[in-house]
Structure 1
Amino acid sequence: MTLTAEYIQRSRDILTTIEAQAGAIQQAANWFSQTILAGRMVHLFGSGHSRIMVEEMWPRYGSFPGFNPIVELSLSFHNLVVGANGQRQAMFLENVPGLADRILRNYELSDLDSALVISSSGSNVVPIEMAELFQRQGVKVVALVTKEHADKSTSKRTDGKKLSDFADLILDTGAPVGDAMLTIPGLDTPVAPGSTLGGVVLVNCIKAEVARLLTEAGQPPKVLSAANVVGAERAVTLFESAYDEHAHRLAKLYQHVGIPSYVSEQTRSLTTQQS
């Protein structure tokens, strides 16, 4: 078997693992659709390469508003590798206690919200604290991990707790311990990871189920669509309206955040009068 054929076969195994989680995928979609129908947002967080799954959910073709992508460049901008903004700093910051609290200080959370926190190992401090803080605010947390890898990983938290300890639901990418799936003769370290493949499939399965639930509830989502599919004029309308809806949802996370001001009090007063 060639290495290409072997990777494809391992990928099929990942798909089988994901297919067995259909019930959990549906549960996540139910929670997320309820959040979106309530006018709130599903918070997405991933550091390191887990950022890929955040961006896969929204915004890109075939996706729709209702999701709040929380991507910290200091934790996920790896292109320079070394020097300023390098990988060493990102890996260090990923395990700084208290950083998650500083990030979430920017938002007014609600128990109507829900969250997807992605971490293959489930053992780094910032994603774990993110999930912990979400749960503390009554936000339902879906954790996307690589179960075999997470089970074998040691938590960087002093109390030993992992992301799974602060999750209402756990989804498994199906990748192996260490993530890399192929062994090369003469090379003692495996190559070609699989968690991103599994994570992207899980994210898109959830996305599709959420779109179905929103449509069935009479609120079909505004899906970012290509002009060669829906026509140039409608494509522009969908993009503009989807981005505007995102802004309207995001505004709710900011309008009463933190220390009150006369602006926030005016907004609260107007909201009370309108209701």
Structure 2
Amino acid sequence: MFSQFHQQVSSRLSALDAAAAAGAFDPAIDLLAESVKNNGVIQVFGTGHSEAFAMEVAGRAGGLIPTNKIALRTLVLRGNHQVDDLVGSSFERNPAGITELLELTEIHPQDVFIIASNSGVNGSIVELALQVKARGHQLIAVTSLQHTNAVNTKHSSGKRLSDLADVVVDNLAPYGDSTLETADGTGLGAVSSLTAAYLAQLFTIGTVARLAASGERPPVYISANVPGGDEHNDVLEALYGQRIRRDG
């Protein structure tokens, strides 16, 4: 099954590579590059395993400095919620905390948002998308089109993430996120985190290249574990102040 899983993963990464070469992700990269050029911050949100996508975009070596990971745990760290609220999956399905979450996040008009959600139907995901669009921001969605189109939304609006985004990028994960099946029918071999991480890097690489081509010096993190890394990063982070937080 190892080789079967390798084939499932590699075929999807190859498909994403071909899509990138064909310019399929240029609309997303255009929005990201334009935001950074205009002193914007790339605001990234994901819950559950999709938070890994946000971590791949925001605050890592080789990534763009003007990036901010929005996380539900911020409602506990700096808001009015309790630690017990984070237990289980009910928090990510509940849209109730999103207004407070956005109030706890410094957002400027030129900021662009990326929301990652494999299903694209949970309450917090859809509510954030609705509020982001109501504020007039551009929104990029990373989701499984196969999965989201096969399930009902859990938000009272009747909307899915893919219905609300300006740009929708398919992470190519299958329904249920299982690429393999055992003899007794048990599904396994989740792939959405792998394809999403690859997409995050494609977005970053494309945005940096776009900025450089326009004469901009891309604000990119150097690893803190190489000489001069901290000094380089501190200077550039200071330009954005509390707009980019690494404590959530």
Pairwise TM-score range, normalised by the shorter structure:
0.7 to 0.9
Out of 96-105 and 147-156, give the one that drifted further: 96-105
1:182-204 deviation per Cα after TM superposition (whole angstroms, max 9, x unaligned): 1122x322112000011001110
TM normalised by structure 2 equals: 0.86
SS of 1:33's equivalent in the other structure is helix
Q: Percent identity?
A: 24
Q: CA deviation at 1:110?
A: 4.2
State the partner residue of 1:119.
Answer: 117
Q: Gapped runs of 5+ residues in structure 2? A: 77-82
Corresponding position of 2:3 = 5
Letter in 2 for 1:204: Q
SS at match of 1:122: coil
Corresponding residue number in structure 2 for 1:32: 32
Any residues of structure 2 matched to 1:99-248 within 5 Å, and which? 99-107=97-105, 109-185=107-183, 187-226=184-223, 232=227, 234-247=228-241
| Length, aligned pairs only | 237
Q: Say which structure, 1 or 2, has more relative contact order (CA 8 Å, 6+ apart).
A: 2
- Corresponding position: 1:68 with 2:62: no
**In 2, Cα distance between equivalents of 1:176 and 1:155:** 17
The 1-side partners of 2:229 and 2:74 are apart by: 33
| Residues 132 and 249 of structure 1: CA distance in aligned 2, closer, same or farther (over 3 Å) | same
Report matched runs for 1:71-82 at 5 Å. 71-73=71-73
SS at match of 1:62: coil
Write out per-residue CA displacement over residues 103-145 of structure 1, whole angstroms, 9 at most, x where no aligned residue: 1123454442211001100010111111111111110100000
Q: Distance in 2 between matches of 1:227 and 1:68?
A: 18
Against the structure 1 CA distance between its residues 241 and 69, is the aligned structure 2 distance closer, same or farther, given a 3 Å change threshold? same
Q: Measure the CA separation in 2 of the matches of 1:46 and 1:86.
A: 14
Does the aligned pair in 2 maintain the 1:223–1:238 contact within 8 Å?
no
| Secondary structure in 2 matching 1:152 | coil
Counterpart residue type for residue 128 of structure 2: M
Please report how far the alpha carbon of residue 40 of structure 1 lies from its aligned counterpart in structure 2 after TM superposition.
1.6
Once residues 248 and 84 of structure 1 are traced to their aligned partners in structure 2, the CA distance between those partners, rounded to angstroms, is 27
Give the greater-gyration-radius structure (CA): 1
CA contact (8 A) 1:123 1:155 kept: yes
Structure 1 distance, partners of 2:14, 2:158, is 31
* Aligned 8 A contact 1:28 1:142 in 2: yes
Partner of 1:270: none
Q: Distance in 2 between matches of 1:121 and 1:35?
A: 27
The CA RMSD measured in Å over matched residues stands at 2.4
